[in-house]
Amino acid sequence: MIDKVANMGHLKWVLEEFCKAFFEVDSVKMRFRPSFFPFTEPSAEVDIQCSRKGGEIRFGEGDDWLEILGCGMVHPNVLRNCGIDPDEYQGFAWGMGIDRIAMLKYGMPDLRPFFEADVRWLEHYGFRPLDLPSLAGGLSS
Amino acid sequence: MKFPLSWLRDHLDTDASTDRIAEALTQVGLEVEGVRDRAAELAAYRIAHVISAEKHPNADKLRVCMVDDGSGAPIQVVCGAPNARTGLKSVFAPPGTYVPAKDITLSVGVIRGVESRGMLCSAFELELSEDHDGIIELPEDAPVGQPFAVWAGLDDPVIEISVTPNRADALGLAGIARDLAAAGLGKVKTPAVAPVAGTGANPVGVRIALDDAALCPAFALRLVRGVKNGPSPEWLQKRLREIGLRPINALVDITNYMTFDRNRPLHVFDAGKVKGDLVIRRAQDGEELLALDGKTYKLDADMVVIADDNGVESLAGVMGGEHSGVSDATTDVLIESALWDTLNIARTGRKLGLISDARFRFERGVDPAFTLPGMEMATRLVQELCGGEASDVTLAGAIPDAARVIDFPFSEVQRLTGLILPRDEMRAILVALGFAVAGEGDVIQVTPPSWRADVEGKADLVEEIVRIAGIDRVESTPLPRPGGLTIGVLTPLQRRTRTARRLLASRGLVEAVTYSFISEKEAVAFGGGQPELKLANPIAADMSDMRPSLIPGLLAAAQRNADRGFPDVALFEAGQTFASDAPEGQSMVAAGVRRGTAGIAGAGRSWEGDAKPVSVFDVKADVFALLTALGVSTAGAQIVPGGPAWLHPGRSATLQFGPKAVIGWFGELHPATLKALDVKGPLAAFEINLSALPAAKAKATRARPKLALADLQPLSRDFAFVVDAGVAAGDLTKAVAGAERNLIVDVSVFDIYEGERVDPGKKSVALSVTLQPKDRTLTDADIEDVSAKIVAAAAKRAGAILRT
């Protein structure tokens, strides 16, 4: 998101709002950590609270963290290379691992079965074919 | 990078707890990956005395020991160690103790008929070394009953942090301490480096013979004569062991110490083995070096080496050579402290597959200003531990001065982060991190320290301030909402892909996501395998090619399910395929496979008749349902018999809107394809290229013509035609439908017959034709007239003869 005022506070709000909507909760325990990416400055990584016990991963409990995304203010050089004056325009960027947030939301302990197409797994974690997230209907039906 | 807390305390005067330090490290961007506290892990292990050790009555190699662990009555333990003997002091673990190296928790056991209540431990079991030949032997004066870890000095937590590539300066304890102090965790107390006065010229000359001076800006060398090498003192060995390094000898240990203490990698040569002067030059193609890791590396002219009259002695900035390495016999040592080009070091290391602590640091960039102080500090350590007399320092090249001034408006912090901080606080943070700050008011002049080559501009300074001030102080701020309703943002292709997924799922196919990488064999079988679609670095041998089709992945998935006892599966995937490495070679495709009896009518056995094996008509129905759901008119679609080579030639078809507008295919799999991929049928598959479908009509709402409903009854008539067996039924129905467009509204096939009642090479196709009168009821004569037209059109366009 690029405009003349978008700052890191907005970035934080967007990510917090997203996580609340995605996880369907009123509040999410998130941790912003300074980090490094070549395309953003300042940069941060975001972790989400979880527990990892007995081969299960659970959202919203425990005192472990799962890193879910990298983000930051778009690097002035990136703006410049796009023909945008970094002293006038600014903005933020982020990238999220959708497999990670799916693991957290649905309590999937392992990433590998995502690509195995085992019908038992697909049926266990799957959805009804006509489940359709919408603004009016919400994320889950 | 990991370090024991006691080492950090050399550089940081702090009373913060381990937890607080770990928390602060993560907060400033040096993410803590783990804190290992051996004293806590090994709390249950106590020093014990073996009161007696008798031979086990039922086993030759076991002993029955009575152990005093200071808790009271002697404890009986069965022990298999050859050195378990009366009077020995060792380490005892009672039942309930977790043994890290074996990942077990001890319980009371009976070994060959004798009860055993605990374990006497080897160094291996406590993860102290690889030694599992016997139990730990402690000196006579070891205090029985004391926690072993505390007595052994293991109560020093080791913190492991992950250092981002921009923070080369945090690869040394001094840099880590600086960050923590800036964040308010104490005061930096890194000792100043006192130079060592040389006692005469260095007899070994140094020459930089490089076409590009940037490859080695500076190279300092000093000879220390008369050293006595050998094992380094215990404090140094212990530190190195705690960070996972093996102590070698004092001179080598000093270089490793400097690497981690100050992020200053050094190299030491045995001066007795160096012949002539040192020359820093490019390697010659094919030149070889036996390095200190015992491996021989073949070098090329892109790599920089340090050579003498014997040849290559060291691979610059990466690893020294075995020939001139120091040993216990070394008496004269040459210390090297140099600067190298970061990219060149990275390329050299990558090309040779050589990972070293020196490479790791030189490719990120070390502090150029510490090149000479590093030499002085190393010299001092050498003299302290090994004695000797130091020469003057020879310096080839020059220490570069990269000082640059950044005009920095403090208001940038608020502009980019929304965080409002007092100017004093921001200034103090920069100063604490070593930045030189000049000027007053909003815009100040900031000079980054020599160890922060990564800091280039204003945004970097904002990051420095925010990470130290605390990113959690940035308050989340709602975005201003634009007026009006949110409009749709999906592209037509995205909408179609979503619809395709829902439609196929609702038809009972289960959605799969398979890898975009498949094996070469699979790729070739599906028309892929081109060189430009090969991966440069495949993660596995059977994931070497970008997929030309989704079918191979789905076939493999279907087979895996069959192997697990689920033979009747229907799977689909919507994903990308790759016909070339050009952007237009990438397509969004929806594909599915049906296996076993998983046809559209449902799988398995039933009281109304068992489900039949899947056939071309199941997947044809999928394709037409898909097109209908996507709003693609099937009126103009052509179904051409046959498809790509992986489909059965007689039970497959290609779907197209013209010869150059192929949008997919469906059919049963070719037996040869199944055999080549080692999968078993029955299998039918379809693949529709969503990117190639005719574009959807413009979205704007359109008024439609008034609906003219006929109030007369439609009527239907059946016809049976004999045609050549090769004639497609679709061609016949099209011919018939065109016979009288004013009346015929539908033509459908209801029977096909081939056999003894028609001539060989012929088939009978039975059609039901629906007629819809518009303005009056049809008379017999009207119907006969239409029938004649139908028979004539069928004869003319499809060579059909009415069956009589």
Tokens of B164: 């981002």
Please judge whether B476 and A12 are an interchain contact, meaning their C-beta atoms are less than 8 angstroms apart: yes
**Every domain of chain B and the residues it spans:** 2-37+157-188, 40-151, 206-397, 406-473, 492-692, 715-802
Architecture of the domain defined by B492-692: 2-Layer Sandwich (3.30)
A chain contacts of residue B569, beta-carbon cutoff 8 Å = 119
A chain contacts of residue B505, beta-carbon cutoff 8 Å = 129
Q: What is the pLDDT of residue B531?
A: 94
Q: How confident is the model at residue B73 (pLDDT cuts 50, 70, 90)?
A: confident
Residues B383 and B684: their CA atoms lie apart, in Å, by: 79
Pick from A12, A33, A42: CB nearest B26: A33
CB of B554 within 8 Å of a chain A CB? The answer is: yes
DSSP classification of residue B351: H
Nearest-Cα distance to chain B for A39, in Å, is 12
Q: What is the pLDDT of residue B728?
A: 85
- Tokens 């039901």 correspond to B768
How does strand B647-656 pair with strand B638-641? antiparallel
Determine whether the annotation assigns residue B454 to a binding site.
yes
Amino acid at B628: T
pLDDT digit string (tens) for B634-678?
Answer: 877 888 889 999 999 999 999 999 888 999 999 999 999 999 999
Query: How far is CA B721 from its chain centroid?
Result: 63
Taken in order B450, B455, B456, B462, is the CA torsion positive or negative? negative
A chain contacts of residue B27, beta-carbon cutoff 8 Å = 33-34
- Tokens 């340090």 correspond to B306
Q: What is the CATH number of domain B715-802?
A: 3.30.70.380
Residues B669 and A103: their CA atoms lie apart, in Å, by: 35
Please judge whether B511 and A126 are an interchain contact, meaning their C-beta atoms are less than 8 angstroms apart: yes
Pick from B26, B167, B475: CB nearest A9: B475
Please judge whether A33 and B27 are an interchain contact, meaning their C-beta atoms are less than 8 angstroms apart: yes
Please judge whether B459 and A75 are an interchain contact, meaning their C-beta atoms are less than 8 angstroms apart: yes
- Report yes or no: B475 and B418 within 8 Å, Cβ to Cβ: yes
Please judge whether A75 and B471 are an interchain contact, meaning their C-beta atoms are less than 8 angstroms apart: no
Query: Does B715-802 match B492-692 at the fold level?
Result: no
DSSP classification of residue B536: S
Pick from B476, B506, B564: CB nearest A118: B564
Please judge whether A42 and B459 are an interchain contact, meaning their C-beta atoms are less than 8 angstroms apart: yes
Please judge whether B560 and A135 are an interchain contact, meaning their C-beta atoms are less than 8 angstroms apart: no
Q: Is the pLDDT of residue A53 over 90?
A: no
Residue with the bigger pLDDT between B69 and A56: it is: B69
* A&B contacts, CB < 8 Å: 124
CB of B478 within 8 Å of a chain A CB? The answer is: yes
CB neighbourhood size of B633 (10 A)? 11
Lowest mean pLDDT among A56-65, B87-96, B394-403, B499-508: A56-65
* Distances from the Cα of B704 to the Cα of B511, B701, B745, angstroms: 37, 9, 20
Q: Is the pLDDT of residue A141 over 60?
A: no
pLDDT digit string (tens) for A74-109?
Answer: 999 999 999 999 999 999 999 998 888 888 888 888
Please judge whether A35 and B29 are an interchain contact, meaning their C-beta atoms are less than 8 angstroms apart: yes
- Report yes or no: B21 and B14 within 8 Å, Cβ to Cβ: yes
Q: What is the pLDDT of residue B590?
A: 98
Q: Which helix (H) or strand (E) holds A105?
A: helix A98-106
Tokens of B307: 């050579």
Q: What mean pLDDT is predicted for residues B110-131?
A: 87
Backbone angles phi, psi at B427, to 5 degrees: -60, -40
Burial bucket for residue B382 (CB in 10 Å: 0-12, 13-18, 19+): buried
SS (H, E, C) B448-491: CCCCCCCCCCHHHHHHHHHHHHCHHHCCCCCCCCCCCCCCCCCC
Q: What mean pLDDT is predicted for residues B630-637?
A: 83
Q: How confident is the model at residue B700 (pLDDT cuts 50, 70, 90)?
A: low
Pick from A42, A119, A130: CB nearest B506: A130
- In 3-state terms, what secondary structure has residue B6? helix
Nearest-Cα distance to chain A for B413, in Å, is 10
Tokens of B634: 């099937």
Q: How confident is the model at residue A125 (pLDDT cuts 50, 70, 90)?
A: confident
Q: Is the CATH code 1.10.260.40 the one for domain B2-37+157-188?
A: no
Which span out of B66-80, B426-440, B742-756 was modeled with the highest average pLDDT? B426-440
How does strand B278-282 pair with strand B206-209? parallel
Q: Is the pLDDT of residue B324 over 90?
A: yes
**Every domain of chain A and the residues it spans:** 2-125
Q: What is the pLDDT of residue B100?
A: 80
CB of A76 within 8 Å of a chain B CB? The answer is: yes
Residues in chain B: 804
Burial bucket for residue B660 (CB in 10 Å: 0-12, 13-18, 19+): exposed
Please judge whether B471 and A115 are an interchain contact, meaning their C-beta atoms are less than 8 angstroms apart: no
Q: Of all residues in chain B, what percent carry a pLDDT higher than 70?
A: 99
Residues 480-499, chain B, touching A (beta carbon < 8 A): 486
DSSP classification of residue B712: S
CB of A99 within 8 Å of a chain B CB? The answer is: no
SS (H, E, C) B426-444: HHHHHHHCCCEEECCCCEE
CB of A47 within 8 Å of a chain B CB? The answer is: no
Amino acid at B185: L
pLDDT digit string (tens) for B243-301?
Answer: 999 999 999 999 999 999 999 999 999 999 999 999 999 999 999 999 999 999 999 99
Query: How far is CA B744 from its chain centroid?
Result: 62
Q: Which helix (H) or strand (E) holds B664?
A: strand B662-669
In terms of Cα–Cα distance, which of B538, B493, B494 is closest to B515? Answer: B538
Q: For chain A, first and last CA: distance in Å?
A: 30
A38, closest residue in chain B (CA to CA): B166
CB of A49 within 8 Å of a chain B CB? The answer is: no
Please judge whether B164 and A35 are an interchain contact, meaning their C-beta atoms are less than 8 angstroms apart: yes
A131, closest residue in chain B (CA to CA): B502
Superfamily of domain B206-397: Phenylalanyl-trna Synthetase, Chain B, domain 3 (3.50.40.10)
B chain contacts of residue A130, beta-carbon cutoff 8 Å = 502, 506
- Report yes or no: B168 and B364 within 8 Å, Cβ to Cβ: yes
Residues B508 and A72: their CA atoms lie apart, in Å, by: 43
Q: What is the CATH number of domain B406-473?
A: 3.30.56.10
The residues, ordered by sequence, that sit 6+ positions from B387 with a Cβ below 8 Å of its Cβ are B226, B227, B228
How does strand B389-390 pair with strand B218-225? antiparallel
Pick from B414, B415, B560: CB nearest A116: B560
Options 3.40.50.150, 3.30.930.10, 3.40.190.10, 3.30.1330.10; CATH for A2-125 is: 3.30.930.10
Residues B673 and B645: their CA atoms lie apart, in Å, by: 8
Q: What is the pLDDT of residue A114?
A: 92
B chain contacts of residue A41, beta-carbon cutoff 8 Å = 459-460, 462-463
Q: Which helix (H) or strand (E) holds B720?
A: strand B715-724
* Distances from the Cα of B49 to the Cα of B46, B55, B87, B483, angstroms: 10, 17, 7, 81
Indicate the angle between helix axes A8-23 and A98-106, nearest 10 degrees: 40
How does strand B46-55 pair with strand B63-68? antiparallel
How does strand B510-511 pair with strand B570-578? parallel
Q: What mean pLDDT is predicted for residues B723-747?
A: 90
Pick from B474, B502, B566: CB nearest A9: B474
CB of A55 within 8 Å of a chain B CB? The answer is: no
Q: Is the pLDDT of residue B757 over 70?
A: yes
CB of A73 within 8 Å of a chain B CB? The answer is: yes
pLDDT digit string (tens) for B160-194?
Answer: 999 999 999 999 999 999 999 999 999 999 999 99
What is the predicted ipTM? 0.91
Options 3.30.70.260, 3.40.50.150, 3.40.190.10, 2.40.50.140; CATH for B40-151 is: 2.40.50.140
CB of A41 within 8 Å of a chain B CB? The answer is: yes
Residues B263 and B266: their CA atoms lie apart, in Å, by: 10
Amino acid at B292: L
B487, closest residue in chain A (CA to CA): A135
Q: How confident is the model at residue B697 (pLDDT cuts 50, 70, 90)?
A: low
- Report yes or no: B21 and B180 within 8 Å, Cβ to Cβ: yes
Q: Which helix (H) or strand (E) holds B617?
A: helix B616-629
Q: What is the pLDDT of residue A120?
A: 92
Tokens of B199: 């006692």
Residues 570-589, chain B, touching A (beta carbon < 8 A): 571
Calculate the average pLDDT of chain B: 92
- Report yes or no: B653 and B638 within 8 Å, Cβ to Cβ: no
In terms of Cα–Cα distance, which of B382, B376, B375, B356 is closest to B230? Answer: B382
Q: Is the pLDDT of residue B93 over 70?
A: yes
CB of B511 within 8 Å of a chain A CB? The answer is: yes
B411, B471, B503, B550, best to mutate vs chain A, most A CBs in 10 Å: B471
Nearest-Cα distance to chain A for B525, in Å, is 21
Determine whether the annotation assigns residue B581 to a binding site.
no
CB neighbourhood size of B456 (10 A)? 16
Pick from A1, A8, A114: CB nearest B416: A8
Residues A111-120: b if buried by 16+ CB within 10 A, e if exposed: eeebebbbbe
Q: Is the pLDDT of residue B698 over 70?
A: no
Please judge whether B514 and A117 are an interchain contact, meaning their C-beta atoms are less than 8 angstroms apart: yes
Burial bucket for residue B284 (CB in 10 Å: 0-12, 13-18, 19+): middle
- In 3-state terms, what secondary structure has residue B532? helix
Q: How confident is the model at residue B102 (pLDDT cuts 50, 70, 90)?
A: confident
Q: Is the pLDDT of residue B702 over 90?
A: no
